[in-house]
């Protein structure tokens, strides 16, 4: 008969299904419990037997090692060889006590007991186990389980060598109730040991952990077992309690065997499982009743919530997440209704969050690059649709100076705090009502200033720079976060986003290089940048086509007005641009890594010229400038070695000038390179001394011979007393450090006289001579009132 009502079908279906499941489950559980119990007990018995065998093996190993130690003892061997029975007995007792041996015996070569640790000594009697002596003779040692004085012992026999066997040592552990109890504590099994008695050969119980009444019937029941003795046997006669038993044999002699019995009670193992069966039955009855009640309620209330939920899901599909929550009972249907409601709310929140993440910076809360880009595009579109200055705007790009140093030295958490403080200062200076501030990434910020006159935007850039220059205290660290700002105006500097941002970035990096705080874009910057891009190719062309020339400026020793050294200064004679000063292409060469090629060219040209002067009996030392990039090149010493070998140059031909700032870029690497150059015999000088940031503690470690005082201190020392004090102090400092001191930038007699009075060692500058070409220098030396003097100091 077909049941038409959904409520009735649900109740019957739930109840019938549950009843079937319960019946099948109970049958399965009963079968499983019985099989599982038997299998677990069998596994436990097998594991127990393995543990017993492992204990026997460990005992054998322990007895063998202990016997080996004793038989290696010289005093014991000597006592055995001399027949000193008292000593032998004492040693057996002491050694046996240390290893907890229950029996220790010394057997003579005639198979007679020499000494033992038994309560009633059997010295002089025949050893009871001559077969063990024979096995020990064959194998060097032997072990076995033996029956002795009505007890089971695990015994090992080893020879006493001097150097041939002079006796046999037997050590053993007793297998008794204590041994059985220890085995039970390890396995959780009942343990018994039996062996045939001397009368009639019936099994007798030697040790057991069974209760007394069960142990009394064990020999009889085990004797009734037929067939393979190593098997599982169900024993039912031990005090009316069922045990699952594993029996194995221990061979005592050729025809006598002891019996090991491991048992576990089936009743004890199955007791909690039977209680579980009763609990399952009770739970099944309760579950059936509960199912009837619950199914009735569910069937009654299920149709209306399902209909409402269908409507809700259709709203979610259309993107409407704000529908009212479905009223449903507090059951699975109610949970489903709540879950669908929460899902709708969650989707709405996540969509809102996704939108926020797409356009907001997570750290500062500012607009991100995407939002800035979209807003800038929209602002450009609005400005292009309307005419008039009211729709002009400015864009500021700002990069925080030395922000990487803050992260590296103070940590990223301080860097994050610094960015948040910078944002607060930007928001204080820039009104965000009509303007936009965005973090474009890392330490770069963008500002869109709508409806601002160019002058106002420039003034705002100055205000921002001034605000950032104020110190910031972060967790006890005082930080000054100066920034470099590039300013562009629409439409003056571009009418597309890419052009505006590119020009603003160019102005920003120009501000950073010039340390001017902010720079307004100028088309000349772009031309200068393009000019720099072609500079690298032109430098390569200059070297290949001899456009680079070395000029030489002499140095005069004040002590005797002699010249023995010149400084090599590079000049670029460009075929179109004319003479290009070094300060226009050397910094670019350093930033691009091309300086290494230029330095190698300078070394080669200087050595070539020095070789030519050597042949003209004009052995001037040539000093060469080494850049910071050169000092970071570990191959620089090998470059010098290769070129000096090529020109067969002496170390005093060259002197190297290194600036303080070049050394302090990477002091450790620089010091390593300088030491290698010093080992090659090259002299070194610290150039532009006083303008760097190195400490005296570090300078004294440098392998240098000379200090060159920077010309910025020399030029104005006549009119500036502070410069004169610095120069005098530097000269004294250099002399105290054992260094020669030279002043560069000397341009008049007064400066010459002042330096001579201060004790300066040498001077260089236009007062002596401008840098000269090699041929011009040779002629100048012939007519100069300064004398040439060869100097081979190292």
pLDDT in tens, 299-331: 666 666 766 776 777 777 766 766 656 555 566
Q: Tell me whether residue 41 is in a domain.
A: no
Is the same domain home to 167 and 188?
no
Residue 281: is its pLDDT beyond 80?
A: no
Query: What are the helix (H) ranges across 99-193?
Result: 130-139, 177-187
Q: What is the pLDDT of residue 794?
A: 40
Tell me, what CATH number does 753's domain have?
3.20.20.450
* CA atoms of 538 and 120, how far apart (whole Å): 113
- Number of neighbouring beta carbons within 10 Å of residue 737: 14
Residue that is last in its domain, among 245, 270, 295: 270
* CA atoms of 792 and 391, how far apart (whole Å): 74
Pairing of strands 762-764, 740-744: parallel
Q: What is the pLDDT of residue 446?
A: 93
Mind spelling out the 3-state secondary structure of 683-740?
A: EEEEEEECCCCCCHHHHCCCCCCEEEECHHHHCCCCCCHHHHHHHHHHHHHHHHCCCE
**What is each CA distance from 501 to 167, 401, 532, 604, in whole angstroms?**
103, 19, 20, 45
* Domains: count for the chain: 5
* CA atoms of 323 and 316, how far apart (whole Å): 9
Is the same domain home to 729 and 643?
yes
Beta-ladder partners of 555: 565
* CA atoms of 95 and 101, how far apart (whole Å): 8
Residue 227 pLDDT level (bands cut at 50, 70, 90): very low
Mean pLDDT, residues 641-663 taken together: 89
Residue 637 pLDDT level (bands cut at 50, 70, 90): very high
pLDDT in tens, 395-415: 999 998 878 878 877 788 888
Q: What's the chain's average pLDDT? A: 82
Q: What is the pLDDT of residue 361?
A: 87
pLDDT in tens, 483-532: 899 999 998 888 899 989 989 988 888 888 777 888 988 887 765 565 56
Q: Which residues form the domain of 252? A: 178-270
**Would you give the end-to-end CA distance of the chain in angstroms?**
120
pLDDT in tens, 672-727: 899 999 999 999 998 877 665 455 656 777 888 999 998 888 988 888 888 899 99
Q: Tell me whether residue 38 is in a domain.
A: no
Q: What is the pLDDT of residue 326?
A: 59
If one compares 224 and 112, the residue with the highest pLDDT of the two is 112
Token code pair at residue 38: 């038997």
If one compares 609 and 576, the residue with the highest pLDDT of the two is 609
Residue that is last in its domain, among 359, 376, 396: 359
Q: Tell me whether residue 218 is in a domain.
A: yes
Residue that is last in its domain, among 171, 206, 223: 171
Is the same domain home to 657 and 757?
yes
If one compares 149 and 307, the residue with the highest pLDDT of the two is 149
Residue 761: is its pLDDT beyond 90?
A: yes
Is the same domain home to 401 and 355?
no
Cα 443–447–452 angle (5° rounding)? 155
Is the same domain home to 559 and 697?
yes
Q: Select, from the ranges 134-138, 308-312, 606-610, the one with the highest average predicted confidence (pLDDT).
A: 606-610
Q: Tell me whether residue 2 is in a domain.
A: no
Is the same domain home to 650 and 691?
yes
pLDDT in tens, 9-53: 777 777 777 778 777 777 777 777 777 777 777 788 888 888 888
**241: helix, coil or strand?**
strand
Residue 294: is its pLDDT beyond 90?
A: no
Residue 591: is its pLDDT beyond 70?
A: no
Q: Tell me whether residue 64 is in a domain.
A: no
Q: What is the pLDDT of residue 486?
A: 92
**784: helix, coil or strand?**
coil
Q: What is the pLDDT of residue 226?
A: 41
**What is each CA distance from 28 to 36, 285, 349, 367, in whole angstroms?**
12, 17, 50, 66
Residue 273: is its pLDDT beyond 80?
A: no
Instruction: Supply the Cα-derived Rg of the chain in whole angstroms.
Output: 52
Place of tokens 């009654």: 300
Is the same domain home to 399 and 347?
no
Is the same domain home to 165 and 192?
no
Residue 791 pLDDT level (bands cut at 50, 70, 90): low
Token code pair at residue 17: 């299904």
Tell me, what CATH number does 413's domain have?
3.30.70.270
Q: What is the pLDDT of residue 43?
A: 82
Is the same domain home to 376 and 466?
yes
Q: Tell me whether residue 539 is in a domain.
A: no
Q: Tell me whether residue 66 is in a domain.
A: no
Is the same domain home to 346 and 403?
no
Residue 567: is its pLDDT beyond 90?
A: yes
User: Which of 109-118, 451-460, 667-676 is predicted with the least confidence, judged by mean pLDDT?
Assistant: 451-460
Q: Per the omega criterion (within 30 degrees of 0), is the bond before 163 cis? A: yes
Is the same domain home to 201 and 323?
no
Which H helix or E strand runs over 211? none
Q: Tell me whether residue 538 is in a domain.
A: no
Q: What's the whole-model pTM score?
A: 0.44
* CA atoms of 771 and 373, how far apart (whole Å): 54
What's the half-sphere exposure (Cβ side, CA atoms, 13 Å) at 564?
17
pLDDT in tens, 47-102: 888 888 888 888 889 888 888 888 888 888 888 888 888 888 888 888 888 888 88
DSSP label at residue 482: -
Q: What is the pLDDT of residue 476?
A: 79
Contact assessment for residue 428 and residue 464, using Cβ atoms and an 8 Å cutoff: no
Tell me, what CATH number does 113's domain have?
3.30.450.20
Mean pLDDT, residues 446-473 taken together: 86
Which H helix or E strand runs over 159? strand 151-161
* CA atoms of 154 and 142, how far apart (whole Å): 11
Q: What is the pLDDT of residue 2?
A: 62
Residue 166: is its pLDDT beyond 90?
A: no
Q: What is the pLDDT of residue 693?
A: 46
Is the same domain home to 622 and 743?
yes
């Amino acid at each position: 008969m077909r049941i038409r009502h959904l409520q009735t079908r649900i109740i019957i279906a739930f109840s019938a299904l549950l009843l079937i499941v319960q019946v099948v489950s109970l049958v399965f559980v009963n079968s499983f419990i019985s099989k599982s119990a038997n299998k677990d007990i069998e596994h436990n018995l097998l594991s127990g037997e393995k543990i017993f065998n492992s204990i026997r093996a460990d005992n054998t190993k322990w007895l063998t090692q202990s016997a080996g130690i004793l038989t290696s003892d010289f005093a014991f061997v000597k006592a055995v060889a001399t027949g000193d029975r008292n000593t032998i007995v004492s040693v057996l007792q002491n050694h046996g006590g240390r290893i907890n041996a229950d029996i220790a015996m010394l057997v003579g070569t005639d198979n007679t007991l020499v000494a033992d640790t038994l309560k009633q000594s059997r010295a002089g009697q025949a050893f009871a186990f001559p077969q063990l002596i024979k096995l020990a003779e064959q194998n060097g040692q032997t072990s076995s389980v033996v029956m002795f004085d009505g007890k089971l012992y695990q015994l090992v026999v080893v020879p006493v060598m001097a150097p041939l066997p002079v006796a046999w040592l037997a050590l053993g552990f007793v297998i008794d109730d204590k041994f059985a109890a220890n085995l039970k504590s390890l396995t959780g099994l009942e343990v018994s040991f039996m062996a045939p008695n001397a009368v009639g050969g019936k099994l007798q119980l030697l040790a057991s952990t069974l209760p007394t009444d069960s142990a009394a019937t064990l020999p009889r029941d085990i004797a009734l077992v037929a067939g393979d003795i190593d098997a599982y046997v169900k024993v039912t006669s031990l005090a009316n309690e069922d045990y699952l038993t594993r029996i194995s044999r221990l061979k005592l002699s050729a025809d006598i065997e002891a019996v090991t019995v491991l048992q576990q009670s089936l009743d004890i193992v199955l007791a909690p499982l039977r209680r579980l069966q009763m609990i399952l039955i009770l739970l099944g009855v309760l579950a059936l009743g509960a199912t009837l009640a619950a199914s009735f309620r569910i069937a009654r209330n299920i149709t209306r919530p399902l209909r409402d939920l269908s409507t809700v899901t259709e709203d979610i599909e259309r993107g409407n997440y704000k529908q009212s929550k479905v009223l449903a009972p507090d059951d699975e249907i109610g949970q489903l209704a709540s879950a669908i409601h929460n899902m709708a709310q969650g989707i709405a929140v996540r969509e809102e969050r996704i939108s926020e993440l797409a356009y907001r910076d997570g750290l500062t809360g500012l607009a991100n690059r995407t939002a800035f880009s979209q807003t800038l595009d929209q602002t450009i579109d609005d400005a292009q649709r309307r005419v008039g200055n009211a729709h002009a705007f400015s864009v500021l790009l700002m990069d925080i100076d030395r922000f990487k140093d803050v992260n590296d030295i103070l940590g990223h958490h301080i860097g994050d705090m610094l960015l948040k403080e910078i944002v607060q200062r930007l928001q204080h200076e820039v009104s965000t009502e009509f303007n936009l501030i965005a973090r474009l990434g890392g330490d770069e910020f963008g500002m869109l200033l709508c409806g601002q006159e160019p002058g106002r935007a420039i003034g705002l850039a100055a205000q921002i720079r001034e605000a950032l220059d104020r110190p910031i205290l972060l967790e006890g660290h005082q930080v000054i976060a100066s920034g470099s700002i590039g300013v562009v105006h629409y439409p003056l500097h571009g009418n597309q986003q890419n052009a505006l941002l590119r020009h603003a970035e160019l102005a920003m990096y120009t501000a950073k290089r010039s340390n001017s705080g902010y720079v307004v874009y100028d088309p000349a910057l772009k031309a200068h940048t393009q000019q720099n891009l072609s500079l690298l190719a032109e430098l390569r062309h200059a070297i290949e086509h001899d456009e680079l020339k070395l000029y030489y400026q002499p140095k005069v020793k004040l002590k005797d007005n002699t010249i023995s050294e010149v400084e090599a200064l590079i000049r670029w004679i460009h075929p179109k641009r004319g003479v290009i000063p070094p300060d226009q292409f050397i910094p670019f060469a350093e930033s691009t890594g091309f300086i290494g090629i230029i330095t190698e060219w300078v070394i080669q040209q200087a050595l070539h010229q020095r070789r030519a002067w050597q042949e003209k009996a004009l052995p001037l030392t040539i000093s060469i400038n080494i850049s910071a990039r050169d000092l970071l090149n570990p191959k620089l010493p090998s470059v010098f070695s290769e070129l000096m070998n090529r020109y067969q140059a002496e170390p005093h031909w060259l002197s190297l000038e290194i600036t303080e700032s070049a050394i302090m870029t990477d002091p450790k690497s620089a010091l390593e390179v300088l030491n290698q150059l010093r080992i090659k015999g090259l002299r070194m000088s610290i150039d532009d001394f006083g303008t760097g940031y190195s400490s005296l503690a570090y300078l004294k470690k440098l392998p240098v011979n000379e200090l060159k005082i920077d010309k910025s201190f020399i030029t104005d020392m006549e009119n500036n007393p502070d410069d004169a004090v610095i120069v005098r102090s530097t000269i004294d400092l250099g002399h105290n450090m054992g260094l020669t001191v030279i002043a560069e930038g000397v341009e008049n007699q007064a400066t010459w006289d002042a330096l001579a009075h201060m004790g300066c060692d040498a001077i260089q500058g236009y007062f002596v001579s401008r840098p000269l070409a090699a041929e011009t220098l040779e002629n100048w030396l012939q007519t100069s009132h300064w004398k040439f003097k060869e100097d081979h100091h190292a």
